[in-house]
Chain A
Amino acid sequence: MPRRNDLRSILVIGSGPIVIGQACEFDYSGTQACRVLRDEGYRVILANSNPATIMTDPDFADRTYIEPLTADVLQAIIDRERPDAVLPTLGGQTALNLAMQLYARGVVGVPGTPELIGANARAIATAEDREKFKEAMIEIGLAVPPSGVAHSVAEASEVIAVIGLPVIIRPAYILGGHGTGIAITMSQFIDMVSKGLAASPISEVLIERSIVGWKEYELEVMRDQADNCVVICSIENVDAMGVHTGDSITVAPALTLSDFEYQKMRDAAFACIRRVGVETGGSNVQFAVNPSTGEQVIIEMNPRVSRSSALASKATGFPIAKIAAKLAVGYTLDEIPNDITKKTPASFEPTIDYVVTKVPRWAFEKFPGTSGILGTQMQSVGEAMAIGRTFPESLQKALRSLENGRMGLNCDPAEEALALLSADELIASIATPTPDRLFQVGECLRRGITIDAIHSATHIDPWFIDQMQMIIEERSALAAIGFEAMTGASWRRAKRMGFADAQLAYLWKVPEELIRKTRIGAGVVPTYKTVDTCSAEFEAQTPYHYSTYEDESEVRPSLKPRVIILGSGPNRIGQGIEFDYCCVHASFALRDAGFETVMVNCNPETVSTDYDTSDRLYFEPLTVEDVMNVIEAETIAGGGSPRVIVSLGGQTPLKLSGSLPANLIAGTSAQSIDIAEDREKWSALCDRLGITQPPGGTALNVDEALLVAKRVGYPVLVRPSYVLGGRAMQIVHDDSHLKKAMLEMAVAGTLGREGGLSALRPVLVDRFLEDATEIDVDAIRDLVGEVLIGGVMEHVEEAGVHSGDSACAIPPQTLEPWAIEAVESYTKAIAGELDVRGLLNVQYALAANTIYVLEANPRASRTVPFVAKATGVPLAKIASRVMLGSTLAELRHEGLLKDPINNGHVAVKEAVLPFSRFPEVDTALGPEMRSTGEVMGIDRTFGRAFVKAETAAGTELPTSGMVFLTLNDRDKSSGLVIAKRLRELGLGIVATSGTAEYLQRFGYPVDRIVGKVSAANAGSADHSQTDAVELLKRGEITFVINTPSGRRTRTDGEAIRKAANIYRVSSVTTIKAALAAVQGLAEAHESPLEVRSLQEYHGR
C-alpha cells in the first residue's frame, strides 16, 4: 500500500524533557519521524517542550510548538492547526499517555477529529493496561507470570493471598518502571502497593509472581498495514530479571538462545503485536526465560518506539523510527528500501556479525542517601554502547566508553579498591546488583572463585561469566609474558580481547604512549568494519564503522577535506542532549559547507550516532586511544589531515584536547582551553583585563583550603577543577564543613574514582557571593576578532544554585542596561584575550552593583540550543563554521548568521529534576547540578513564559487549595509579596510559626500554622499543631514554598521537601523562583493560555 494521500498534516508529539527512563532516544526517533514525514510531503506540526532537542529545531517541522506537553496545550495546538492525524508512537510514554488523554476527551481518534496513526487507542490501552494485556496474552495462549490487579491496598491483599510472596509490583501507565519494586515481606508489599497506587495515573498496580533470576530478553518487532512482521533485533540482558532493562547490561544479538527457543519467542512476539493490535510501527516485547526449564513467559510490550528500539537501530543499522514513520503513513515494509544496502527492501530481518554491548551509566554520587542498589525501577541517566567482534571485546569497549574512570573489566587503577574486599565480601556484594557489580565479578574471577558460585550469586548466565573469565585469563597471560616479550600475535590477542592500551600500561607500569608506539610498531592497529544490517551479504553504502582487530579494514578512501567531530559520550547529569545538539548542528553546517564530516561517539540514544547525520560514523569510545585511532584511519583514507572539533561535545572531548595533535584541533587551541581551566592563568587573565573575580585561591589539601577560606572569609564555594555539572561542588560556611568537603573530594567520595586530587587537579576555593544574580553569556568569536553575543541570560535562582539547575530568561528581566553592557564588553574582552575561535560561555554574578566573573568555558555550553531557539540564531552551526575558518562577516553575507529576533517575547528555560526517583534525597537546590533535562516556556511576558516552563517541567503551580510557606529569615521580607499575591489569587496560606508570625505582623493572615516536622516526627507531645507532612499526605497542601537556610541544620525543611516529593506536591526552594511563580500565576490568571509556534515567533 503506498503513501496515504488522505492525510495532509500530521501532529507529532515529542517526549518533553530528558528524564530518567526517557532520554535522547526520543529526540532521535522524533527527528527521524519529522524528516521522513516532511520528505513525504506532509505538513508536520511538532509539539515538544524540550529546547535542547534537534527535532525542535525550526527546520525540522512546518510548525514547532515549544510548549508544555499537557492535554490542554495539545488541545489548543490541535484547535489551531487542525491536523489530519496525530502520531504518538515516537515520543515515548509521554506522547502515548497524552494521546490517551486526548482520546478520552474526544479530541483525537474519534470520527471528526484527527486520526491516531501508529497505534490506535484500543491497542495502546491493551498494551498499557496490565490487566487487559495479561488477559489478551492468555487468550492467545502465551504464558504470563501469574498475577492480579489491584486498585486499593485491600484488593492487593486479596491478590497476594492467591499468588503468594515474593511478587513484583508494577503501577499501570508509567515509564521507566517508576514505582515498580519487588516485595519479599508483607510489610514491604503493603508499602510498595501504596506507593505504586500513588504513582499510577489511574491508581492501578499489577502484582505478579516474581521471576527474579530468570533470563531476560527483548525482541524489537515491526509490523505494517499488510500484517508483515519482522524482528529487527534480539536483545539479551546480562543482568537477570530483577534489574530493570534500562539498568541492565544488555547485548545484541541474544547469545544464549538456541534457534528452537528463539523461534518460539519470535512467534510469540508476532502473536503479541497482532493481538494487541499495533497496526503499524515498532514495538518492544519483553520475555523472561527460566534458565533451567526453558519456560518462556511474556513480561510486557510497548506499542511504540522505545529506548530499546533506539539501541536496536544503532546495533543493527536498521532505522526503526524512520521506518515506523513511513509505515504510519501507509507504506508497507517491502515498499521501503533498506537505506544501507539501497538495493534490498526493509522487509527483512537484520543479521549482524558482531556483538553489541550496552552499559548504563548512573549518577548515584549526586544523590547522597540513595542506596545505589539496582532494581525494577530504572535509575540510570545514560548509557554507552560498544561494538566488537566478540563479547569480551565489546564488553571492555563498552566499559571504557562509560567514562567512569574505568578502562575495561578492571586491570586499571580503580581496581585497587576491590583488593580491599575479602572473598566472602565479594561474593556477598555481587549478590546485590549495583553499578560496580560487574567489576566485582571480574575480581571474583581473578581470585579463582568459580563460575558456578558467581552464577548462583548473580544469576548472570554462565556463558557470560566464562567470557569474562577469558578476559581475566588473558590478563594473567599478558602479565606473564611482560611488555618486552610481546609479539605481534600476542598484541593482537590482547586487543582482540578488548584490552585498552591504558589497561596494558597499568598492567606493565609502562607509559600508555610507549604501549601505543610499540604496539603500532608490531603492526597491530585496529581495522574498521561496517555496520550494514546484513553481515556483509550485500554491499553497504553507509560508512558506519566500529573498530576491531581483524585482517581487513573497510574505510573507504576519500579526497574531500574532512572534519572529525567528537561527541559527548553517555548522557550524564551535566552533559547530555544539549551537546549532542551542538555536534549534530556542526555536522549539518559543515556538510552544507562542503566538508566531509566524521562523527565519533558511543551513545546509542543520540541523533549524532544516526548513520545519516554525518558522512561517516565511528561508533567508538571517546578515549585518547580510540580517538587517535580514528584520526589515523581517516588520515590514511586520504584528503589530507582531518581537522578535529573538541569543543562541542562538552567536557568529554575537551579533556582529550591536550592529548591530540594540536595542529589538528579546529577552533580554540588546547592552550587557551587550559588558560580558562587553570586557576592561576585564568586569574592572571582577569587581572590583566581588570575584571573582578570573587576572591579565592586553590588548595591541594585541607590546610591550604583553610588558609584560603581564612583569607577570603566564609561562606566559600569549593569545587574540583576539570569537572562538569558542579560535580562535588559545595557551599561551606565554616571550618568543619570545609574539612569535611575536602576529605570527600580527596578520598572518601566518588570523585576519587574520577581522578581524585593532584597538583594538576587542585580544589578551587572562592568566596561565595550571597544574594547575587547569576548571568550567563554565550558568544562566538571568529579569527578576525569579531565577537557575536549570542545571548545574555539572567538566572531566576540566585548564584549558588548550579546554572544547570536554575531557571533563566532571555532577554534578562531585571538587569539594568549598564549591567548588560558590562557583561557583553567583558565577554568580548575575555574572548579576545583567550583568542577564542568558536563558542565561549561566561558566567557572571551581579552583587551589590558589582559584576564578578565566575568562570569562562571556551566551548559549547548547555544553553546553546536554548539561546538558538529563543533568538533564532543557529549558534552551533555558526560556531562550527567559524572554527573551520569562516568569519562572522562571511556567514552574515552567506545568510547563515541573521540578527537575533527581538519582538518582545520572553523565553524561560527551566531545569527538570529527577527527585521523584530518589525519595531519600533532599530536593533543595545547590551548587551541584542534579537536573537531567530542561524545558522552555515562551510567551509574551516573563510571568506567562515562566508558568509555561514550570508546567512543562512538571511543576504544578497552584490554582486552588493552600500553599505552604516556610522561609528562612533572609527571605521573609519577600514572603510578604508572595503572601499578598497568593491572597489575590484566592489561595490559602499555611506557614510554620516563624514565617506565620512574620506575615501576620505585617497584616497578612495565615490560614493555618503548623509545627516543626522534626518535633512531630520525634513523637512530641505537642499535638495541638498539625504536622506539615500530615497535611501534604492528606493532599490539603497544593504547593510548597520552602527556602532552606544556609547555616542552620536543614533537617526540618528537608523533611518537608522530601514529603512534598513523595506525595507529588510541587515545590520551589528559592525565593526568586517563588516570586516568579506568583507573578506568573497572576499574569496567567488575567488571560487564557495561548500557544504559538517557533516559526511565528521567529517570523521566518
Chain B
Amino acid sequence: MTIREAALVLRDGSIFEGEAIGAQPPSGICSGEVVFNTTFTGYQEVISDPSYAGQIISFTTPHIGNYGTTSYDSEAKQVFARGVVVRDLSRRRSNWRSEGGLDHYLQSLNIGGIAGIDTRRLTRILRQSGSMTGAFGTAPESDLRRASQREAGTDGVNLVAQVTTPEMYQFGTGRFNVVAFDFGIKQTILRCLGDFATVRIVPAATSAEQVMKMSPHGVFLSNGPGDPESVAGVPETLRQLLQAGVPIFGICLGHQLLALALGGRTYKLPFGHHGANHPVRNTTTGAVEITSQNHNFCIDPASLVDVSDVTHTNLNDNTNEGMRVRDARCFSVQYHPEAGPGPHDSRYLFREFGDLMDSA
C-alpha cells in the first residue's frame, strides 16, 4: 500500500502531519468542525451516526478499525460526518462479526480520513480552545489552512435538513404506535423502540397535524446534528404536539428542540460531550448512570424552571442531561440511552416511554 502524505490544519493554524485514509476528494481537502470522541469501542457506530453531520471526528483511542465493520453496526446507511482522524488505522481486522475493513467502509461511503496523527495533542487543543473548524487532506498545507478558515462549522447551520428522511418509513411491529421525528435518527434507537412499538419515522418537517392524524400512542424526538436554534419550524410543531397531550420522549437534539418549544434557551458547550463514559445522575433515584454522549449544544435548565423539572444531571460539569415537562406526559434526555456505542445503563428510559404510553 502506498502512503499518501496528508495533513490536518486547524483554524488556529495548528498543523498535524499524517497519512490519508479512506476516500479522498479530488480537491484533496475535507473540512468541518473538529470534535473528539473518547469511546474505546464502537467507531463504526460513531462514524455512521448522523448527529456528526458537518463534523470531523477524532478518536482518542489509538487503534481504530481493529475489529472491522459490519452492516449491523451502521447507525445509518449514509455517513454524514466529514471525516475521521485516527492515530492508527488497523490494516488487519479480526473479529467473528466483521464483514469488511474500516478503510474499505470509508471508501465505499466516500469518507476521507487521516491517520498517524498525535490525536492527544489535538484533543488537548480542542479542550483548551474549544471546538474549531479544520481541514485535512492531501492538498498543500496553505490550501488546507484556507479551507479550515472558510469552513462554516455547525453554528447556525440547519444540518437536520440534510440528514432527515425524505419520506416516512416504518420500523418494528410492537404494540404501540409511535411516530418518530427523524432529525438524524440512529438505527440503535429504532431497535430499542421497535422492541415494543411499531415506529413510523417521519421527516423533520412533518406537521403536528400530520402526526396527530396517525393517532400515535406516543411521539419520539430523535437525536440529530448541530445547533438546535437552526432547526426552523420544529419547536412550533412540538408546542402543538404538547398541547395535543400525546406522550413525548426526546433524545439529544430532540431534548434540545423540546426545550426550545417550551421557551427555553440552549447554548454551545466549549468542546461538547462525545464519548461513552459520562456519569449522569438520575435525580429521581439518585443513581449514577454511565452514558453515551454526543452533543455540542446543551439546554439551560434555568430557562425552564417554570415548566419542567430536571431529571438528569451530568456529574462531570453539572450540565443538564434530562427533564420532565410539568403537567405533561413528556420527558427527554440529552444523552443516548440507546447506547450504540456505549453502556446500556439507561435503556430503562424506553420502558418508561412504554409505561407513559400505557398510562395514556
Contact = CB atoms under 8 A, between A and B. Distances in A.
Given A259-B73, A345-B315, A550 B118 contact: yes
A463 B92 contact: yes
B175 interface: no
A353 B281 CA distance: 26
B73 A552 contact: no
A331 to B, nearest CB: 13
Given A348-B279, A351-B38, A552-B124, A462 B290 contact: no
A293 B127 contact: no
Interface stretch (A531-539, A737-745, A775-783, A829-837): A531-539
A973 interface: no
A344 B90 contact: no
A230 interface: yes
A334 B94 CA distance: 37
B66 A256 contact: yes
Nearest to A553: B121
Interface stretch (A261-269, A396-404, A1066-1074): A261-269
Contact of B343 (A266, A293, A389): A266
Interface in B61-77: 61-63, 66-67, 70, 72-73
B114 to A, nearest CB: 14
A577 to B, nearest CB: 33
A113 B97 CA distance: 53
B275 interface: yes
A538 B315 CA distance: 13
B41 A262 contact: yes
A551 B63 CA distance: 18
Interface string A151-187: 0000000000000000000000000000000000000
B311 interface: no
A405 interface: no
Contacts of A257: 41, 67, 95
A260 interface: yes
A25 B60 CA distance: 29
Interface in A451-496: 451, 461-463, 466, 470
Contacts of A267: 344
Contacts of B96: 290-294
A355 interface: yes
Given A351-B61, A535-B60, A551-B16, A390 B95 contact: no
Contact of A260 (B73, B90, B119, B276): B73
Contacts of B61: 253, 351-353, 535
A1024 interface: no
Contact of A536 (B70, B123, B340): B123
Interface in A240-270: 253-263, 266-267
Contacts of A343: 316
A334 B88 CA distance: 34
A529 B90 contact: no
Nearest to A496: B116
A351 B288 contact: no
A259 B341 contact: yes
Nearest to A535: B60
B315 A348 contact: yes
B73 A258 contact: yes
Q: Chain B interface mostly helix, strand, loop or mixed?
A: loop
A256 B38 contact: no
B120 A552 contact: yes
A27 B243 CA distance: 63
Nearest to A293: B96
A619 interface: no
Contact of B288 (A228, A354, A551): A228
B93 interface: yes
Interface in A530-562: 534-539, 550-552, 554
Nearest to B273: A537
Interface in A284-331: 290-294
Contact of B66 (A227, A294, A463, A536): A463
A349 interface: yes
B340 A347 contact: no
B319 interface: no
A581 interface: no
B62 to A, nearest CB: 5
A1060 to B, nearest CB: 48
Contacts of B90: 463, 466
Nearest to A333: B288
Contacts of B339: 263
A406 B96 CA distance: 34
Nearest to A290: B96
B124 A536 contact: yes
Nearest to A341: B316
Contacts of B344: 263, 266-267
B45 interface: yes
A226 interface: yes
Contact of B92 (A263, A351, A389, A466): A466
A391 interface: yes
A900 interface: no
Nearest to A388: B62
B40 interface: yes
B287 interface: yes
B354 to A, nearest CB: 20
Contacts of A228: 287-288
Contacts of A351: 38-40, 60-61, 275-277
Contact of A348 (B16, B36, B290): B290
A234 interface: yes
A885 interface: no
**Which of B72, B90, B339 gathers the greatest number of chain A CB atoms within 10 Å?**
B90
Contacts of A262: 40-41
Given A291-B96, A463-B94, A391 B63 contact: yes
A350 interface: yes
A354 B290 CA distance: 22
A386 to B, nearest CB: 14
A392 to B, nearest CB: 9
A461 to B, nearest CB: 5
Contact of A263 (B91, B93, B275, B343): B343
Interface string B218-237: 00000000000000000000
B278 interface: yes
A462 B92 contact: yes
A550 B287 contact: no
A294 to B, nearest CB: 5
Interface string B252-282: 0000000000000000000000011111010
B123 A348 contact: no
B40 A334 contact: no
Contacts of A535: 36, 38, 60-61, 120, 123
B11 interface: no
A355 B315 contact: no
Interface in A339-392: 343-345, 347-355, 389-391
Nearest to B17: A551
Interface in B323-360: 339-344
Given A228-B287, A234-B40, A347-B288, A529 B92 contact: no
Contacts of A253: 40, 61
22 contacts: A227-B287, A230-B290, A253-B40, A254-B41, A258-B97, A258-B98, A259-B39, A259-B73, A259-B341, A260-B73, A262-B40, A292-B96, A347-B279, A351-B275, A352-B40, A353-B123, A390-B62, A462-B92, A463-B66, A463-B94, A534-B38, A535-B38
Interface of A: 226-228, 230, 234, 253-263, 266-267, 290-294, 332-334, 343-345, 347-355, 389-391, 451, 461-463, 466, 470, 529, 534-539, 550-552, 554
Closest 5 CB pairs of A and B: A259-B42, A259-B341, A535-B60, A463-B94, A259-B41
Given A350-B277, A351-B40, A352-B61, 17 more contacts: A254-B40, A255-B66, A256-B95, A258-B70, A259-B41, A259-B340, A332-B288, A344-B279, A345-B279, A349-B277, A353-B119, A389-B87, A390-B87, A463-B90, A537-B38, A537-B60, A551-B16
